[in-house]
Amino acid sequence: MNDAPFSQFRHYLETERNASLHTIEAYARDIAEFRILVRGDETFSDWTAVDHDQARSFVIKLFDRGDSKRSIQRKLSAMRSFYRFLIRHNLAKDNPFTGLAPIKSDKPLPLVMSVNDIDRLIGGVKSYWEQAASAGFAKSEESAGFAMARDIAMIELIYSGGLRIGEAVGIDLGDLDIANSVIRVRGKGKKERLAALGTQALSALRSYYPQRRTTGADRQLSSPLFVNRFGTRLTARSFQRNLKNYLASAGLPPDFTPHNLRHSFATHLLDAGADLRSVQEMLGHENLSTTQIYTHVSAERMRKVYKESHPRAK
């Protein structure tokens, strides 16, 4: 194949850019794909004949073939770089790959725990501390009982109200309104909102209160709700460290985090028919677009169930 422009480009990558062999071969593959997919000729070398429509056609064919967005981005970057070189050396007048609509990579969907996963997690807290007490690696049975009640209440509260871990550990006694089953939460930018306390969360809090008193923690309204064994405010890092143990005890994936409880809260509400605007307010999102990721999660779950269950989907 006589393709002097590409040969010059390859020489430029090797000598001036000091590119690795891997990078050079990747450029060569991407340019070869354009030749075959758009021009239908692996020997094509008339680069001045390529126009914007052909560049757009390249994108469409890559999508149709099933290439990932990340892969398509890389191939377009290679073609743009190639044409910048051609223009700089007067081998082309225009870059047909500029001006194409940007391709945004899909953000990974948040991990969502099922209701059964959350029940298993609560069971994991109980089994961990029961074993800790019986095996003697807890300081005492009382300290194990305190940590178990506290962390169950923390999990139930995060899931019940869709809280961030920082919001949960920042709650003070005065933020609770048990009579109305709500809690005042201070979110990002010190913005306050009310979060719901479900039946399970209220029950867990009632079990935790007597345990909290054993630490000698202050009972003033400005005192932290969740405390450590010294009676001072529990840190997010400490709870996250404990969560790893509970996940292992429950046989759940180790990459679940407290934030996955918040993701689960939003997804389960949408699955049950809650409107997006209400979920936005409950999460404390400033923009609705931030909340919309959960509609993608719900849609993905729906597609999965459909494929697994519908006789015409298989």
Please state, in angstroms and rounded to a whole number, the distance separating the CA atoms of residues 232 and 285: 30
Please state, in angstroms and rounded to a whole number, the distance separating the CA atoms of residues 205 and 168: 13
User: Residue 10: phi, psi to the nearest 5?
Assistant: -65, -40
Which residues lie below 8 Å from residue 239, measured CB to CB, with a gap of 6+?
151, 154, 165, 168, 169, 226, 258
Q: Which residues are catalytic?
A: 164, 188, 259, 262, 285, 294
Q: Confirm if 239 and 164 have CB atoms less than 8 A apart.
A: no
CA angle 159, 183, 158 (to 5 degrees): 15
| Paired tokens of 101 | 């609509």
CA distance to 83, 120, 265, 270, 298, per residue, from 9 (Å): 9, 58, 53, 52, 47
Whats the size of the chain, residue-wise? Answer: 314
Sheet holding 176-177, edge to edge: 176-177, 182-186, 192-196
Please state, in angstroms and rounded to a whole number, the distance separating the CA atoms of residues 49 and 193: 60
